[in-house]
């Protein structure tokens, strides 16, 4: 313990954070602190825990200067850990290193930028859930995340397919870059690519509706970030541990950066609508099996879709098949809300739905935005 205290005191005299960490690693490796056998007064596991805690404390207080890192040298990602949902405030994650080809963040997330492109500046209108049409407001900050599947070719994830997997990914990313289809893409290996900047519009959601406890959003291209996992909806959904780990880190980064509530982290199938027939689920990616818990999110399928609850949309058997034949709990909740409201107004459910649909058309007419674009 005297050795550990001496190392700690010497480290405290080093002003540069990176040099301090290098000194600690070197001294702990050369000393017998980590190799010491258990002693009667202080058990060995306690010593190890104290060393780790000291390193963690010093690291969290340090502000790493990117100029100390060698050009082209990425920080290593942390090992996969058991992930559980997190409720409440997300801790702020900060940029550690910024290079032309990648950015590295304090939670270990590395984002590649070679496919980064430009789009239109993010700007949109929202409505108060309490009084809808009468109370519109303008906004420019991302309010949520929509998760997608890329619907691209899915080759076997095997060593013999490595070359083809990379070529397929490159073609997919180039297609996404040209169309400005998503803000982020997570490939089969868990690598994250930024395509459209956060403060610009990706054309990922098309006709779409969502609402949280206070605010209603219509047309989520402008208001929500689009994050796509390299996967398909036809049964070949890939939930590789690398994708899950990167998806969790990216979600934590975006939620912390923009104060995004968990209820506004949704799948495309939850928000996609068809204004022509007033049915939900025009797109059905992640209609089932999205790993909300592994991403640190509440179960989105338990949330009542605003398209049904506030605007009277419906769904057909094809959508029901896409979600596995059994309605989400959120669908049942939304339908029950509509029925109760119709009974309170002493009208039929069909009549009440028509009233809600007129509200939707009124909101759409207020939007002063370019025509909606969908993914191709």
- Grouping H, G, I as helix, E, B as strand and the rest as coil, residue 321 is helix
Whole-number pLDDT of residue 35: 39
Alpha-carbon distance of 283 to 205, in angstroms, equals 9
DSSP classification of residue 121: B
Residue 374: CA count within 13 A, CB half-sphere: 11
What pLDDT, in 10s, does the model give residues 64-78?
A: 333 333 333 332 222
If we measure between CA atoms, which residue out of 113, 118, 115 comes closest to residue 101? 113
Task: Give the residue with greater pLDDT, 45 vs 175.
Answer: 175
φ, ψ for residue 209, nearest 5 deg: -140, 140
Mean pLDDT lowest for which of 37-46, 162-171, 182-191, 351-360? 37-46
Select the more confidently predicted residue: 338 or 47: 338
Would you say residue 368 has pLDDT above 60?
Answer: no
Nearest to 51 by CA among 59, 41, 63: 59
Per-residue pLDDT band for 240 (boundaries 50, 70, 90) equals: confident
- Tens digit of each residue's pLDDT (9 = 90 or more) over 280-289: 999 999 999 9
pTM for this structure?
0.75
Contact between 309 and 337 (Cβ < 8 Å): yes
The span from the CA of 188 to the CA of 165, in Å, is 8
- Could you list the beta-strand ranges (E) of 32-123: 95-98, 102-105, 110-112
Q: Are 57 and 8 in contact (CB under 8 A)?
A: no
Q: Classify 85 in phi/psi space as left (phi over 0), alpha (psi -120 to 50) or beta.
A: beta
SS3 content of the chain, % helix, strand, coil (to 5): 40, 15, 45
Higher pLDDT, 50 or 206: 206
- Enter the tokens of residue 216: 């209603």
Q: What is the pLDDT of residues 117-165, one digit of tens each?
A: 999 999 999 999 988 877 789 999 999 999 999 988 888 888 999 999 9
**pLDDT per residue as tens digits for the range 3-21:** 444 554 565 555 554 444 4
CA dist., res. 191 & res. 355, Å (int):
46
State how far the Cα of 125 lies from the Cα of 104, in Å rounded to an integer: 33
pLDDT of residue 12: 54
| 253: nearest Cα among 58, 109, 84 | 109
Cβ-based neighbours of 317, under 8 Å, separated by 6 or more: none
Q: Over pLDDT 90: what percentage of the chain?
A: 63
Strand stretches in 198-287, DSSP E: 209-211, 215-218, 224-229, 265-267, 273-274, 279-280
Span 299-307, mean pLDDT?
Answer: 96
Nearest Cα neighbor of 144 from 259, 265, 252, 256 is 265
Q: What are phi and psi of 273, to 5 degrees?
A: -135, 160
Q: How many other CB atoms sit within 10 Å of the CB of residue 320?
A: 15
The rounded distance, in Å, linking the Cα atoms of 194 and 173 is 10
């Amino acid at each position: 313990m005297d050795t550990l205290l001496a190392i700690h005191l010497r480290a405290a005299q080093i002003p540069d954070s990176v040099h301090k960490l290098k000194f600690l690693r070197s001294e702990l490796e050369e000393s017998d602190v980590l190799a010491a056998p258990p002693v009667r007064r202080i058990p060995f596991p306690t010593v190890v825990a104290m060393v780790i805690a000291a390193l963690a404390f010093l690291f969290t207080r340090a502000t790493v200067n990117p100029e100390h890192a060698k050009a082209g040298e990425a920080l290593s990602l942390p090992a996969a850990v058991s992930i559980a949902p997190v409720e409440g405030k997300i801790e702020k994650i900060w940029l550690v290193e910024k290079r032309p080809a990648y950015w590295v963040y304090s939670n270990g997330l590395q984002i590649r930028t070679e496919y980064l492109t430009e789009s239109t500046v993010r700007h949109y209108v929202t409505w108060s859930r309490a009084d809808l049409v009468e109370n519109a407001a303008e906004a420019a900050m991302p309010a949520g995340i929509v998760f997608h599947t890329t619907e691209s070719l899915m080759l076997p994830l095997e060593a013999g397919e490595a070359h083809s997997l990379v070529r397929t990914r490159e073609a997919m990313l180039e297609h996404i870059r040209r169309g400005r289809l998503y803000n982020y893409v997570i490939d089969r290996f868990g690598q994250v690519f930024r395509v459209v900047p956060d403060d610009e519009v990706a054309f990922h959601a098309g006709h779409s509706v969502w609402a949280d406890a206070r605010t209603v959003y219509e047309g989520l291209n402008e208001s929500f970030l689009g994050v796509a996992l390299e996967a398909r909806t036809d049964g070949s959904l890939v939930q590789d541990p690398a994708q899950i780990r990167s998806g969790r880190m990216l979600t934590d980064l975006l939620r912390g950066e923009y104060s995004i509530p968990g209820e506004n982290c949704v799948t495309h199938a939850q928000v996609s609508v068809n204004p022509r027939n007033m049915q939900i689920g025009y797109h059905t990616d992640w209609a089932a099996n999205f790993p909300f818990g592994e991403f640190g999110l509440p179960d989105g399928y338990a949330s009542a879709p605003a398209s049904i609850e506030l605007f009277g949309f419906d769904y057909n058997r094809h959508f029901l098949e896409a979600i596995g034949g059994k309605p989400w709990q959120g669908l049942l909740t939304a339908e029950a809300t509509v029925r109760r409201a119709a009974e309170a107004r002493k009208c039929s459910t069909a009549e009440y739905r028509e009233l809600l649909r007129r509200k939707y058309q009124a909101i759409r007419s207020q939007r002063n935005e370019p025509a909606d674009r969908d993914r191709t």
